[in-house]
Amino acid sequence: MKLIQTVKELRSELDGLRKAGKTIGLVPTMGALHAGHASLVKRAVAENDVVVVSDFVNPTQFNDKNDLLKYPRTLEADCALLEACGAAFVFAPSVEEMYPEPDTRQFSYAPLDTVMEGKYRPGHFNGVCQVVSKLFLIVEPTRAYFGEKDFQQLAVIREMVRRYPFPIEIVGCPIVREVDGLALSSRNTRLSAEQREQALQISQTLFASVEYSKTHTVAETRLYVESRIARSEGLRLEYFEIVDGNTLQTVNGWDETEYIVGCITVFCGEVRLIDNIKYRG
């Protein structure tokens, strides 16, 4: 496995492989890798001749400077995990390398990117699209892999690929959870032991709400989740929405569409955690 820090070097490594007809899988990450990332990389390795993993904390997608500063950075450990997963290249550029000048491009996919995360983190998806589109232009992958935990991000990226258009297959991969149900996230490392225990209520509430939804309306199910989180010590709900899994617009009845997902964001102390669950489809 090779660690590469410049666009020029990565392109020259990949050009030859592409000319030789090799398929290239890309797994974009911000590092601080865990078993969830490992599952994306392993799938990419199984489905492509060569796999590139980007490891770059993208400043343009953080609307909160404190969150950016506190984002864990663990390149050495990341490389060990990626080597074990079979990645061929780790691309870990500096901010100057990715953004030699400020990126002024605007990506707007309303209403997909204006609800939920888009509402609470203005500019976030613009930054995600800036960096992901740059990675697509640099790597020119055959396929790119994203986790379904960032459900809205996956929908926005699919839309960007459709509209750009990029000749890339986007592969969504299932959420990986701890045995007790907590969705894996790089941010989990910032939880104290007590907060880790409290955070468990997020997935437990979502799981219980699936059962509840079978005999209750959408409004009742929303209320069930909101009030259970409100009663949970140490947690503060930012939003919980029950949406059409394709359009991300709020649904009011279970029969409105075939694919329905609940998306939640909760603060545990100052750590912002997201999760989602499928109700229908």
Q: How far is the CB of 154 from ligand PAF (least distance, A)?
A: 9
Chain position carrying tokens 């950016």: 68
Nearest to 151 by CA among 262, 63, 235: 262
Q: Which stretch binds ligand PAF (CB under 6 A): 4-12, 15-23, 125-133, 250-258?
A: 125-133
CA dist 37 → 32, 42, 43, 219, 277 (Å): 9, 9, 10, 34, 19
- Binding ligand PAF by CB under 6 A: which of 78, 150, 241, 275? 150
Tell me how far apart the alpha carbons of residues 253 and 177 are, in angstroms, rounded to a whole number.
Answer: 29
Q: Give every strand in the sheet of 24-29, ordered side by side.
A: 2-4, 89-91, 50-55, 24-29, 143-147, 169-173
Closest approach, Cβ 164 to ligand PAF, in A, equals: 16
Q: 50 to 109, contacts with ligand PAF by CB under 6 A?
A: 58, 61
**Nearest-10 Cα torsion for 86, 87, 88, 89:** -160
Q: 3-state class of 257 per DSSP?
A: coil
Closer by beta carbon to ligand PAF, 213 or else 265: 265
Q: Which is nearer to ligand PAF, 150 or 241 (CB)?
A: 150
Q: The tokens of 139 are what?
A: 């790597």
61 or 195: CB nearest ligand PAF = 61
Which is closer to ligand PAF, CB of 29 or CB of 142? 29
Number of helices (H) and strands (E), helices first, in the chain?
Answer: 10, 9
Q: Is 28 in the site for ligand PAF (CB under 6 A)?
A: yes
Q: Is 133 in the site for ligand PAF (CB under 6 A)?
A: no
Catalytic residues: 37
Is 29 a binder of ligand PAF (CB under 6 A)?
Answer: yes
> Minimum distance between the CB of residue 179 and ligand PAF, rounded to whole angstroms?
23
Q: Of the listed pieces 126-134, 163-171, 174-182, 219-227, which binds ligand PAF according to CB under 6 A? A: 126-134
**Residues contacting ligand PAF: total by CB under 6 A:** 10
Interaction between residue 156 and ligand PAF (CB under 6 A): no
CB nearer to ligand PAF: pick between 29 and 209:
29
The residues pairing with 168 across neighbouring beta strands, listed in sequence order, are none
DSSP 258: S
Residue 131 binds ligand PAF (CB under 6 A) = yes
**Cis status of the peptide bond prior to 59, with omega within 30 of 0:** no
Considering only residues 98, 112, 128, 237, which one is a binding residue for ligand PAF as defined by CB under 6 A? Answer: 128
Give dist(CA 114, CA 144) in Å, integer.
24
Minimum CB–partner distance for residue 47 and ligand PAF (Å): 18
CA 31 to chain centre: 12
- Given the rule CB under 6 A, which residues bind ligand PAF? 28-30, 58, 61, 128, 131-132, 150, 153
